[in-house]
A = this chain, B = another copy of it.
Amino acid sequence: MSYDKVALIGLGLIASSMYWAMKRAGMAAHVSGYARSSETRETARRIGLCDTVCDSAEEAVKDADLIVLAVPVGAMGRVAEAIAPHLKPGATVTDVGSVKKAVIDEVGPHIPEGVNFVPAHPMAGTEHSGPESGFASLYDNRWCLIVPHGASEEATAALETYWQALGANTQRMEPAHHDLVCAVVSHVPHLIAYTMVGVADDLRRVSDQEVIKFSAAGFRDFTRIAASDPTMWRDVFLTNKEASLEILGRFTEELFALQRAIRTGDGDTLFDYFTHTREIRRGILQAGQDTDAPDFGRIRKE
């Protein structure tokens, strides 16, 4: 089963990359798109993003077989509510949100009988956003997590095939587990990076000039992360509260232990800790998950 018509609701980095990847894959589907602001819709028309750019979400989802919600996590519920009455029976609604439990809670209740809802999360991105930031190869060899949570096998499998055609590997996961894994490998690392940049920015004794000039030494990637879209990340932390706070709690606990070791001059504790963490890196190398471009999961447009 493939989709004859795909509707992209929200036309930012994720949706525009999906569009270019669909075209690259030679998919025949007609793609309609809708974004909230007329500015984004104009831009989309100008750059040829989507086969049709619609002035309402209602119009965009009309007759669509696959509807992709590609707006910030906090806006998913309202968007779902608005399009619900206009969904075709048998259609599949999916989303690309970075958090899954909250999206299921917010979107799920609006999905009418006879429509499938298959949440998903492509684990790929850059620090750029908006309709002009997308590119066809964003999802190549990246993971797209599929969270069926009760959707039909047929609808789930079709969505997997779709994401694979866009270049991604797919894996099914439970909502709560998804949110915890993402808190560890993405959300909390991002919060930490934001914080570290905030600290540097705040320190008047280390002039901004110096922080910028010498930023190559461990800090530059933090600033890249800290340039990510504030709305998206606000929504991630507000909606993945539980897992984020749990991982943050663990993080500060461990950090305090190391801080104490520094204060008391306990070199053995530091040495053992630093030795232990080497193992996980070895695992990543063995799993072939390293590339020459460490980038916090970001991919650069060629």
Contacts and interface: CB of A to CB of B under 8 A. Distances in A.
Contacts of A206: 177, 180-181, 184
Nearest to A197: B277
A213 B289 contact: yes
Interface in A136-177: 142-143, 177
Interface in A165-216: 177, 180-182, 184-203, 205-206, 208, 210-216
B205 A196 contact: no
A185 B215 contact: yes
Contact of A185 (B188, B219, B231): B219
B188 A142 contact: no
Contacts of A237: 258, 261-262, 270
Interface in A209-231: 210-228, 230-231
Contacts of A223: 277, 280-281, 284
Interface stretch (A9-17, A52-60, A240-248): A240-248
Contact of A201 (B180, B218, B280, B300): B280
Contacts of A123: 214, 216-217
A206 B176 CA distance: 11
Contacts of A143: 213-214, 216
A189 B218 contact: yes
Contacts of A245: 259, 262-263
Interface of A: 74, 123-124, 127, 142-143, 177, 180-182, 184-203, 205-206, 208, 210-228, 230-231, 233-235, 237-238, 241, 244-245, 247-248, 250-252, 254-256, 258-259, 261-263, 265, 267, 270-271, 273-284, 287, 289-290, 292-298, 300
